[in-house]
Structure 1
Amino acid sequence: MTTTVPLASYLFTRLRQLGIGAVHGEPGDYTLRALDFIRPAGLRWIGNCNELNAGYAADGYARVKGMSAFCTTYGVGELSAINAVAGSYAEYSPVVHIVGCPARMVYGSNRLVHHALETGNMRVYADMYARVTAAQANLTDARTAPGLIDRVLEECRIQSRPVYIELPSDMVEAQVDESRLSAPLHIEPPTNARDLEDAVVNETLERIYSSKRPYILVDGLVRPDGIVDEVNELARVTGFPTLAITFGGGIINGSSENYHGVHAGKFGSIDHTPYTDSADLALLFGPLLSDTNTQGWSVVPKEDITISFRRNSIDIGSASHELRIKSFMRSLLSKLDPSKISAGAPNPPLSSPRDLLKSLPPPDPSAPVDQDTFYLRLSPFFRPYDIIICANGTPLVGGRDFILPPGARLVNSGVWLSVGHMLPAAQGIAVAQREALEAGQQPGRTILFEGDGSFQATAQELSTIIRYRLDVTIFIVNNDGYTFERLIHGLEEEYNDVAPWRYPEAPRFFGAPEDGSYAVETHDARNWGELLKVLESESFGDGKGLKMVNVWMRREDVTRNFKAALVLAGKQLLAGSE
């Protein structure tokens, strides 16, 4: 006899089987009945202040846990979230977006219901989402719904991109066959053709053995591609000079002697181009080669010396081979013979952010905090397993100089760069960190660096952090507005200003308890002396509860070399308009 379960129960049980522990979202009338099935499936509900923030939070959670889910209502809710989902698609973050929809009979009628457009096409929003999701499912038939759910969840994990599920309100409790729940989903990528894999591995090894001036260049898709350990092992075994692109910061062990930091060319704190321009081999991993990520493509290696390692292909020069990266890397490492490597240490030696930090004199306690040294000097504050989040703007650039301890991670943006993304993302990451602690894993702190303009875009999520008593440390980089935009164009224009908030007072407004049940600590730091006092505080450093420090910086201050990049960006925008 076939046993059945409600469709919503099947869906949320599958999410739990995939390691998801919480579902973010915003309730709406089309979703309410479905939300009743979240807790019975062993999931937590995390209610956000709006749907856009829920999508951002799910994105952050997915970057840490490997997959996430959030719920919105039809039309107004899902459209509020589509910016976040598009960002997840652009940056390969595996998010399951569940949309509560009107009952099936509505789709077959011409009646105009709330949240619908007067077009006669009730699925117009689904059509929009098809452009920014890897797979979609419309659960209108109890016989096929379990299979559709399984298919889109498999695609979400395999492609590491968001998927879209329409759940009509009258299907929530539809009885479906539960037998599929006893079988695991097929989330392993297909294996490679052995002959092709062996041939490309051998060609790659020949290039590695014969190279005299090689380097490894790591970008941010290494993590969703699932090869962080393999790339670190390759860097360790070969000893090749290793660099990251901005989005790839924090992937390579920051204590490795052959890791020399983020490669930003002449716009970085260290210019590595004298070496990379004369290199004869570049091993490029997980590339997402956007203009902002590569400083106007200035750090992209020449094609003829490059082997690009992508999720589904290995590209040697202009030749592309369809291969799955995980299997390929395992084969490459198993056959690599370090004794055959002919490349020696780079001459002259390459410097690193570690060298820059050692060379810094002690700061003048009365001097204002400056962008050029702020991020370097913050590095000793970090601990193993911390997750450091850099919002778009000055933290994204400054965070390139972070020196991270083993096990620490950096989360930033490589192409989407949506203002306000990272505060809700930090909330989602903090939920994932709490789950790691509950599972007995080694958790670190959740530390966010956020500009004042970005903070104002999604500040409501501070209340979600407080509501769920999450542990988050926030450094607000307060430079009185949109400094990036000022330097690109409109240095003194009003449109680059933001309102002068009293940031340390925000937790009280957003409901932080005052009875000691949840630790809240806020500070103003107007100079180095005040900031160092905060950093040396044991209570601030413990990462428990909500810790905030409002770091005042000069209005036009950015890292010295990057100012030239912003001025150049302004000129390029002007040239493009002519």
Structure 2
Amino acid sequence: MTGGISVAEYLFRRLRKAGLNAVHGVPGDYNLRLLDYVIPSGLEWIGNCNELNAGYATDGYARIKGIGAIVTTFGVGELSAINAIAGAYAEMAPVVHIVGTPPQNDQKNGTKLHHSFCRGMPGDFKIFAEMYEKVTVAQEDITDVANAAAQIDRVIRECLRQSRPVYLQVPMDMVDAIIPGTPLAQALEVTPASGDPRVEQDVCDIILDRLRTSERQFILVDAGTSRYGLSGQTDVLIRATGFPTATTPFGKGIIDETLPNFHGIHGTVGPHTFTSYVDSCDLIINIGPAHSNVNTYYFATVPKPEITIAIERDAITIGGRTWSVSPQRILQMVLETLKENPLPKPASYPELPNLRHALQSLPPNDPTAKLTQDTFWYRMSSFFHEGDIILTETGTASNGSRDFVLPKNTTLINSGIWLSIGYMLAATQGAALAQRHLAQSNDHPLSKGRTILFEGDGSFQMTAQELSTIIRQKLDVIIFIINNNGYTIERLIHGPQESYNDVASWRFLEAPSFFGAGKADTDYPVYTARATNWGELEGVLGREEMRAGKGLRMVELIMDVMDSNDTLRLMLELWKSKKAS
């Protein structure tokens, strides 16, 4: 486009070129004119029930599609969303937050406008932007036509480069301002600039030397692997080396878990640990580390720096020494060398636990026995197939998902740092929409899968309104609600009998009707079921509408109030002992 173009159209067309297909958000009087440009720019508008939910949905969309965008109004709207944006920052989700703000003259004059503090001070209109400086990696306020295109490009570029949220203010009087459209002819350059070839070769040589001279090796994959665009190369590295491999809880689902040298989650408690082997290693390759307490079993699985090759977004650290280099380029150099000169096959392979073997050795269920979480998560693995997106809410579901045995080309979305209860239902809406868009655009590995959510009853109540958005958008979603009468994970931490861990008793399976699903809607079928024992659950899972059907499928699972898997109990005991010491 060589002629003039409005600021708003430029913004949304640039987002469309960056891979976005939909914008989430909530209308408000400071952003209404801005929203007029969404659909004409080739994007869908997804109106959410509130801004917090919109932020969660955008995060879920971004984790699947590679970029997400949310539009809110100034003040009340952006502050309602800030928890979700902070979570996206903590967990590295590429979200563009666009805020419609009052006209510039009103801001300069300190006019006492609604959604502000009405103190009559010009600085009032900068307060919320200052808050957002803490939870975004780039911020811009569009104030003149000369710089508008460059400002828009900069925030979107940084969002993609750093895989973290950015913040863009568009004053009402700038929405229709005309700027040159010529920059849209060029794609945004998001790859790092070329580094010093000699330094890159030196780092490559050091890594290759460590690969060839080490005697006991281990690859640990974490969440940054996908955020930094390293998933494909990591899969190839795992195959090329044959080294024993595991993920952190936050990294689960990123790599191919069907590989023979994959051994599940690296943890210190539970039935399938292999810490003694890891402790004996003289080389650990830690890709995309995210060393939070819950992701490292309270820091017990953080690799020792002196034996570790740590691969970050824009740096590689070997034995405590760091080089600012492109991990993508270094890994490619390493892989090309290994292709020409493969590593020798090890004389023997260590006997380590394998989740797939554990699943196959489970005894048959008693159909009349009640559902329990000790084997529930293993057994649900047989329900999954290639292309599925699986989301597990913070709490017993997220911890239970560590026992999933995942097929190829599945994606698991969990929370390893922010742990904001209620995130997953809205994120499911965003993920399901992204999956639909992938199916429309190309033959993506996720395009033929399903979106499956596991969520507790208390978490569901946090953001239940977004079930209506799922229904309104006719998204294909499977929801398993674990009804254990309250916040079980909180009861396990403290206050098992306290009323503050109780929640209201909802009739969950009536929610689809309340939120607008029509029983006779053949275009969007709804199926609901309740399971209290293994026989009922197996009957539900065996139905065709559950395994391959379209529409909304919602299953309520009745479990005991204090039920959890052994790994969660042991981990919480470990945490309590550390607190006591």
TM range (shorter): over 0.9
Residue 114 of structure 2 is matched in structure 1 by: 114
Note the C-alpha offset of 1:441: 2.1
Q: Distance in 2 between matches of 1:447 and 1:566?
A: 27
Matches within 5 A, 1:387-398: 387-398=389-400
Q: What secondary structure does 1:231 align onto?
A: helix
Deviation at 1:118, TM superposition (A): 4.1
| 3-state secondary structure, aligned to 1:431 | helix
Residue 441 (structure 2) aligned to one of 416, 439, 442: 439
1:84 aligned onto 2:84: yes
The 3 A distance-change label for structure 1 pair 63 and 344 is farther
Tell me by how many angstroms 1:2 deviates.
7.1
How far apart are the structure 1 equivalents of 2:331 and 2:92? 20
Equivalent residues of 1:31, 1:100 under 8 A apart: yes
Question: How far has the Cα of 1:194 moved from its partner?
Answer: 1.0
1:66-81 paired onto structure 2 within 5 Å: 66-81=66-81
Cα pair distance change 1:345/1:30, threshold 3 Å: farther
- 546, 554, 560: which is aligned to 1:554? 560
Structure 2 counterpart of 1:456: 461
Determine the structure 2 residue equivalent to 1:512. Answer: 517
Superposed CA RMSD: 1.4
Matched, 1:244 2:247: yes
State the match for 1:11 in structure 2.
Answer: 11
In the other structure, the counterpart of 1:361 is 363
SS at match of 2:109: coil
Point out the more displaced range, 176-185 or 22-31: 176-185
- In the alignment, the residues of structure 2 paired with residue 356 and residue 47 of structure 1 have an alpha-carbon distance, to the nearest angstrom, of 44
Partner of residue 533, structure 1:
539
**Deviates further, 186-195 or 384-393:** 186-195
SS in 2 for 1:447: strand
Distance 1:2 1:392 in 2: 48
Deviation by residue 1:117-142 (Cα, 9 ceiling, x = unmatched): 24522110000001111111100111
Match of 2:295, SS state, is: coil
SS of structure 2 residue aligned to 1:506: helix
What does 1:50-449 align with in structure 2 at a 5 Å threshold?
Answer: 50-118=50-118, 120=121, 121=123, 122-266=125-269, 268-336=270-338, 339-341=342-344, 343-347=346-350, 349-442=351-444, 443=447, 444-449=449-454
Change (3 A) 1:494 1:571: farther
Matched residues, percent identical? 48
Q: Using the alignment, how far apart are the partners of 1:335 and 1:139 within structure 2? A: 47
Q: Partners of 2:477 and 2:176 in 1: how far apart?
A: 38
What is the one-letter code of the residue matched to 1:20? L
Tell me by how many angstroms 1:212 deviates: 1.6
TM-score by length of 2: 0.96
Give the superposition deviation at 1:366.
1.0
Please state how far the C-alpha of 1:561 moved relative to its aligned partner.
3.0
Which piece of structure 1 moves more, 171-180 or 72-81?
A: 171-180
1:217-243 Cα offsets, whole Å, 9 max, x none, are 000110010010100001011111000
Residues 2 and 430 of structure 1: is their aligned pair in 2 closer, same or farther, counting only changes over 3 Å? closer
**Secondary structure, counterpart of 1:134 in structure 2:** coil
Q: Please, what TM-score do these two structures have when normalized by structure 1?
A: 0.97
Paired residue secondary structure (1:485): helix
Kindly indicate whether the alpha-carbon contact (under 8 Å) linking 1:211 and 1:342 is maintained by their aligned counterparts in 2. Answer: no
Q: Is the 8 A contact 1:212 1:343 kept in 2?
A: no
Partner of 1:563: 569
Q: CA deviation at 1:19?
A: 1.1
Hey, what's the Cα distance between the residues in 2 that align with 1:2 and 1:355? 60
Query: Is contact 1:142-1:176 (8 Å) kept?
Result: yes
Residues 241 and 343, structure 2, Cα contact 8 Å, conserved in 1: no
Residues 56-104 of structure 1: per-residue CA shift (max 9 Å, x gap): 0000000011001110000000000001001111111110000000011
C-alpha distance in structure 1 between counterparts of 2:425 and 2:510, whole Å = 17
Can you give the 5+ residue segments of structure 1 that lack an aligned partner in the other structure?
Answer: none
Q: For the residues of structure 1 that align with 2:206 and 2:513, how far apart are their CA atoms?
A: 61
Could you list the per-position Cα deviations for residues 414-467 of structure 1 after superposition, in whole angstroms to 9, with x for gaps in the alignment? 201110111111100111111112224241100111111111110100000001
Q: Distance in 2 between matches of 1:158 and 1:447?
A: 29
Poorly superposed stretches of 4+, deviation over 4 Å? 571-575
Distance 2:380 2:512 in 1: 24
Offset of residue 339 of structure 1 = 4.2
